[in-house]
C-alpha cells in the first residue's frame, strides 16, 4: 500500500509540475508560430477534441518552447525563444489562442501561466484572458524518425522543385495516387513528378545524398504546409533534412519540424507519357509575350477552355471561336520554320506553367495535332541547373 501511495504521489506531482507552466515571450514570435499551425490543426468538431488544440512545451535550457499541432495526417512543431519561469507543458484551443494573440499589440510581451484548475491565464499589455486546457497526455506524438537516415537538400532548391510540379496535382479526390507529388531518386538524380492525367510536370536535379529507388508520393496538403515553411528559409541558404519512414515524410528546418503521411499506392507510369524530343519540332518563344497573349485570347474561349495554336513561319497565332461572347485572335513572334501546324490546348494548362516559370524564353516541342506538346525552359537562357519538363495533352480542334 505504501508503494502504491508513493507512486500515486509521484505521478500527481509529475503531472502537476508538467502542467504548471509559466513563460514570457514576444507576441510577434508567438503569433507567427500559431499562424503557421492554423492550416494543420482541426477546425471542425471531431471525436478527438485534442486535435483542435496546440501543445505548448518548454525545452531544456529555459530559453525556448515548442508549439505543436496535428490533424493526424500532418503534424507541425515550431521552436521559438521564450523566458521560462516554470517548465512544463499544456494544450490550448488553437483557434481561440490565435485570435487572442492576433488582437494583442505587435511588439509586446505575452505571459502564459498555468493554474491548478486546468485553466491558463494569458496576459498581454493591459488585457487578461483565461482559457481551459485539455490534458497534454492526450496529444498525439510526432512520428518517430530516430531510426531513419536524413537527406539534406537546400531549402531554396526544394521549394522551387515543389512549386514547379505541385500545380499539376489532380484535384479529383477519387484519384488518390494523383493527389500528390511523386519523389524518387536514382543515380544521384532527385526527381519530382505530378500529373492530373491531362498534363504532367517533372523536375530533376543532381543530389548526391538521396536514395529513394522506389519513390514515395507526398500528399498535396502536406506539401502546401511545407511550401509555407520553406519560403521563410529561401533567402537564408538553409538546408532541409528529409526523413522518409514507412508511412511519413518528415522535413526538419532550423526551427520547424513537419511530418506528412505518405499516399499509399502506385504512382502512374509517367515515363510513358513523355514524348521523344527527337521526333518533335522545337519552337523558341518569349514566355511573357505568350503568357500575355494567351490571357487576352482566353477571355473569349468556350467552356472547354480550348485555344488553337497555329504555328507558321516566324509566328504563333492564338485563336478562339465558338464562344457566345465573340472571338479572339492574336499573333506572337517565334522561332519556327517548319510546315504550318495547328494544335489545340487547354489554355489554363498553358498559363499555369508559363506563370510558374521565370526564364525569359521557353521551348515548345510539337509533333502533330494528336500528340502531346512539351514546354521547357529554353536551354539558351535558363539560369537553373534543374531539368524541367511539362507535358500537355492536346485537344481536338
pLDDT digits over 150-206, tens only?
A: 889 989 999 999 999 999 999 999 999 999 999 999 888 999 999 999 999 999 999
DSSP state of 275: P
Q: Domain span at residue 172?
A: 151-270
pLDDT score recorded for residue 11: 42
Top pLDDT among 237 and 294 is at: 294
User: Burial letters for 32-66: b for 16+ Cβ neighbours within 10 Å, e otherwise?
Assistant: ebbebbeebbbeeeeeeebbbbbbbbbeeeeebbb
Three-class SS of residue 133?
coil
Residues 160 and 187 grouped into a single domain: yes
Confirm whether 186 is domain-assigned.
yes
Q: Are residues 21 and 97 in the same domain?
A: yes
Q: Please indicate, yes or no, whether residues 287 and 254 belong to a single structural domain of this protein.
A: no
Nearest alpha-carbon partner for 72 in 252, 226, 259: 259
User: Model pTM greater than 0.85?
Assistant: yes
Q: What is the arithmetic mean of pLDDT over 273-279?
A: 83
Domain total of the chain: 3
Residue 115 sits in the same domain as residue 158: no
Give the N- to C-terminal CA distance of the chain in Å, as an integer.
86
Q: Where is the domain boundary, 238, 270, 302?
A: 270
Alpha-carbon separation of residue 137 from 80, 124, 133 (angstroms)? 22, 28, 11
DSSP string, 186-207: ETTEEEEEEE-SSEEEEEEEE-
DSSP 315-364: EEEEEEEEETTEEEEEEEEEE--SS-EEEEEEHHHHHHHHHH---SEEEE
Amino acid at each position: 500500500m505504501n508503494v502504491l501511495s508513493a507512486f500515486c504521489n509521484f505521478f500527481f506531482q509529475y503531472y502537476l509540475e508538467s502542467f504548471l507552466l509559466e513563460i514570457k515571450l514576444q507576441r510577434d514570435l508567438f503569433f507567427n508560430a500559431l499562424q503557421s499551425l492554423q492550416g494543420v490543426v482541426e477546425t471542425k468538431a471531431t471525436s478527438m477534441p485534442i486535435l483542435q488544440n496546440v501543445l505548448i512545451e518548454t525545452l531544456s535550457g529555459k530559453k525556448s518552447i515548442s508549439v505543436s499541432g496535428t490533424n493526424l495526417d500532418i503534424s507541425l512543431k515550431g521552436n521559438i525563444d521564450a523566458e521560462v519561469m516554470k517548465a512544463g507543458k499544456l494544450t490550448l484551443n488553437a483557434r481561440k489562442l490565435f485570435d487572442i494573440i492576433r488582437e494583442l499589440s505587435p511588439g509586446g510581451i505575452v505571459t502564459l501561466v498555468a493554474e491548478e484548475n486546468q485553466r491558463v491565464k494569458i496576459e498581454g499589455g493591459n488585457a487578461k484572458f483565461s482559457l481551459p486546457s485539455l490534458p497534454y497526455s492526450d496529444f498525439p506524438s510526432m512520428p518517430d524518425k530516430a531510426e531513419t537516415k536524413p537527406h539534406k537538400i537546400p531549402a531554396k532548391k526544394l521549394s522551387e522543385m515543389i512549386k514547379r510540379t505541385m500545380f499539376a496535382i489532380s484535384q479529383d479526390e477519387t484519384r488518390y495516387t494523383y493527389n500528390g507529388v511523386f519523389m524518387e531518386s536514382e543515380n544521384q538524380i532527385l526527381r519530382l513528378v505530378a500529373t492530373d492525367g491531362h498534363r504532367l510536370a517533372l523536375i530533376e536535379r543532381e543530389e548526391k545524398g538521396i536514395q529513394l529507388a522506389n519513390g514515395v508520393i507526398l500528399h498535396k496538403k502536406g506539401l502546401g504546409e511545407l511550401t509555407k515553411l520553406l519560403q521563410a528559409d529561401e533567402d537564408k541558404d538553409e538546408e532541409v533534412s528529409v526523413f522518409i519512414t514507412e508511412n511519413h515524410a518528415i522535413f526538419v528546418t532550423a526551427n520547424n519540424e513537419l511530418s506528412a503521411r505518405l499516399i499509399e499506392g502506385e504512382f502512374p507510369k509517367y515515363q510513358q507519357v513523355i514524348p521523344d524530343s527527337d521526333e518533335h519540332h522545337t519552337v523558341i518563344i518569349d514566355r511573357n509575350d505568350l503568357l500575355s497573349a494567351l490571357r487576352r485570347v482566353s477571355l473569349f474561349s468556350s467552356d472547354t477552355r480550348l485555344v488553337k495554336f497555329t504555328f507558321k513561319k516566324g509566328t504563333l497565332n492564338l485563336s478562339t471561336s465558338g464562344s457566345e461572347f465573340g472571338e479572339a485572335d492574336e499573333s506572337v513572334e517565334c522561332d519556327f520554320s517548319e510546315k504550318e501546324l495547328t494544335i489545340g490546348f487547354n489554355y489554363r494548362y498553358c498559363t499555369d506553367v508559363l506563370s510558374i516559370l521565370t526564364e525569359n524564353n521557353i521551348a515548345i516541342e510539337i509533333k502533330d495535332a494528336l500528340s502531346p506538346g512539351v514546354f521547357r525552359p529554353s536551354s539558351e537562357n535558363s539560369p537553373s541547373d534543374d531539368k524541367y519538363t511539362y507535358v500537355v495533352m492536346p485537344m481536338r480542334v
